[in-house]
Structure 1
Amino acid sequence: MYDQFDVSLEDAELLREVELTTNLIIAASESDEPLSPEEIDEILGVSPNDD
């Protein structure tokens, strides 16, 4: 029987954002000091030249 409310959704972009946010939270919780901008860029996989 067809159920119109049984819809599987997957938003790849949202899942990636959640993963990046989770990585930042873990790194921040493991650090004794605030993360530097360079550390944040490394965790997010970006470089200063990615403009």
Structure 2
Amino acid sequence: MHDQFDVTLEDVDLLGEVELTTNLIIAASEADEHLSSEEIDEILGVEPQPPEPRRET
């Protein structure tokens, strides 16, 4: 007999977000000072984007 409440849920995006958040929490708890924006970006895997040149109008 099938149990209607026996449901396996897996959301790949949510699991990825949980992993990133966990990594950030661990890094913050191990740091002696506040994490810089650059350190946070590195932990989250954010690659810096060069600023786009301004267009003359």
* Global fold match (TM > 0.5): yes
TM-score by length of 2: 0.81
Identity %: 78
Gapped regions of structure 1 (runs ≥ 5): none
Q: How far 1:40 moved relative to its partner?
A: 0.4
Which amino acid in structure 2 is aligned with residue 37 of structure 1?
S
Bigger helix fraction: 1
Which amino acid in structure 2 is aligned with residue 30 of structure 1?
E
- The CA RMSD measured in Å over matched residues stands at 1.3
Question: Which residue pairs with 1:27 in the alignment?
Answer: 27
Q: Report SS of the residue matched to 1:17.
A: helix
Gapped regions of structure 2 (runs ≥ 5): 51-57
Instruction: Tell me how many residue pairs correspond in the alignment.
Output: 50
Deviations 1:1-42 (A, max 9, x none): 111111100011111111000000000011010000000000
- Which runs of structure 1 show a deviation greater than 4 angstroms over 4 or more consecutive aligned residues? none
TM-score by length of 1: 0.89
Question: Which residue pairs with 2:48 in the alignment?
Answer: 48
